[in-house]
Amino acid sequence: MTQDLKQIIKDKSRQLGFILAGVTTPEPPPHYSTFENWLAQGHHGTMEYLASERSRTRRADPRQILPECKSILVLATPYPPPSRAERSDAALSGVKRRQRTRHEVEAAEHAEGKIAAYARGADYHDILPDRMKELVQFIEAQVGGPVKNRWYTDTGPILERDLAQRAGLGWIGKNTCLIHPKQGSYFLISEILLDLELEPDPPFATDHCGTCTRCIQACPTDCILPNRTIDAARCISYLTIELKDDIPVELRGKMGDWIFGCDICQMVCPWNRFAAEGDPAFDDNHPPHNLTGELTLTSQTFNQRFKRTPIKRAKRRGYLRNVAVALGNTADMHALPVLQNALNDEESMIREHAKWAIEKITSR
């Protein structure tokens, strides 16, 4: 009966847009010690909440989150992958960059900032919770009564990729992303802890990265470590989203034109040739992120434009900080007027990064 129920739940999951679904036990994650070592080496940067006692005890044992937990349902939702042209451009990251021609520099006047693919449309925090709630209600209807549960989508103290691997959804790649051999890695992971006995799926046992090191070679900031972890303090995604302070000067020139997140390690991954089509709920319906235009956003226009997207997480001060760095990296003299205007911004962090960008451009 539990096997039949599990299949019924998986079928419903697919109807709700979860392209992958697997079940694992609430036993401690197999690579928790890796997480502890990662914290001990300070690779979590300023994300001190990860090192708190609450964070560590719950990640070490999912039953600390839900004592009644008997099964964990792990789910994956695809988001639209970057275009073929973007992937080709990312391939240049692992080789010596050629000198830009004068024509290319002048074309930077219309340069657009790069946004991680998952963040180009609606915020998944506004979409996936409703789907998980509906799935829980469906499960309760199937068993004829309430089922104690907790659910997360990148919001709770849980080692979701570790659990996803143990639930059979894929392997953890050298770039730390969960990779599925038929779906790639452009998907969001969710978990539902259930007070319900379900037959666990076999773990995904094989590693298909082999000798490939494309992600490691392509990373502009060298943040990918040999043990399938990353030095978050060097990762462009961390620098543009999680870091609330000034971006280290030595890393600014390596960030290119990324202004929120980064996809380089995924774009060069051979397995993403098989990436699934994204869920329509995450389609990008926003205008291009023209760098010179972005730097003029007021607090009101920033909040209006990004209120239902992940970009709001960076807040205006962080987002315009990122934009200023990207403008500095374009080497575009046309950007100087808008950068000079930003020197009068009320936020000192924006002023500091605009000053750096001006110096970077004029020094060339």
Catalytic residue among 61, 89, 154, 201: 154
Instruction: Report the candidate in 80, 82, 114 with the shortest Cα–Cα distance to residue 266.
Output: 82
In order, the DSSP letters of 126-185 are GTHHHHHHHHHHHHHHHHTS---EEEESS-SSS-HHHHHHHTTS-EE-TTS-EEBTTTBS
In order, the DSSP letters of 262-281 are --HHHHT-GGGGGPPPPPGG
Burial class of residue 280, CB neighbours in 10 A (0-12, 13-18, 19+): exposed
Place of tokens 């989150």: 65
Contact indicator for 221, 236 with CB cutoff of 8 Å: yes
136: phi then psi, degrees, rounded to nearest 5: -65, -45
Query: What is the distance between the alpha carbons of residues 308 and 123, in angstroms, rounded to a whole number?
Result: 6
Q: The tokens of 194 are what? A: 């259930």
Question: CA angle 310-223-176, nearest 5°?
Answer: 65
Please give the torsion angle defined by the CA atoms of residues 328, 330, 334 and 336, in that order, rounded to the nearest 10 degrees. Answer: 0
260: phi then psi, degrees, rounded to nearest 5: -160, 105
Residue 154: active-site member: yes
Catalytically active residues are: 154
